[in-house]
Amino acid sequence: MAVDNFANCLAFTLKYEGAFVDNPHDPGGPTCCGITQATLSHELGRKASLAEVRALQPQSGLVKNIYIKKYWNLIDGDRLAEGVDLMAFDIAVNMGPGRALRWLAQTVSLNPSARVRRLHAVRLGFWKRLKIWAHFGRGWTAREVACERLALTMATAPVLAPAL
């Protein structure tokens, strides 16, 4: 299981979610480090300002805690096989933990590499059906190809026995 893999998964996701964006085609609205203004507001217990969203830093404790609480823990990332955890986490961040959990449930009988490939195909297929594909498809495809590649590397890495 992937008990120590959160940092690796977060590092990957932040490569694609790090900068501040407020794209009118993105239904998420103002976002920085992959954290929307709505998510930050929920975390703070009040309406977060645009300046507060803009000020988020990828390495901050606040950002890490939001990712753990709102995404990693909700998908039970520590209990997923390496590689599968990355795919599920990145899907949860980009599309919501509910969707990640539904798609994980559809792959439960598969080995880790097959789960990664299936999650990749399902997410890419879902994105392609969205009306905003024309605006984001190229970036989403690059992200998904990189995510699948790293997840497959993680899923097929040999597991080392602990030293005695």
Q: Which domains does the chain have, with CATH numbers?
A: 6-156 (1.20.141.10)
3-class SS letters over 68-117: HHHHHCCCCHHHCCCCHHHHHHHHHHHHCHHHHHHHHHCCCCCCHHHHHH
How confident is the model at residue 25, as a pLDDT? 87
Q: Which residue has the higher pLDDT, 95 or 163?
A: 95
The whole-number pLDDT of residue 157 equals: 76
pLDDT tens per residue, range 42-75: 999 999 999 999 999 999 999 999 999 999 999 9
Say if residue 129's pLDDT is above 70: yes
Full-model pTM:
0.90
pLDDT of residue 163: 57
Average per-residue pLDDT in the chain? 92
Give mean pLDDT, residues 12-39. 91
Q: Do 20 and 4 touch, CB atoms closer than 8 A?
A: no
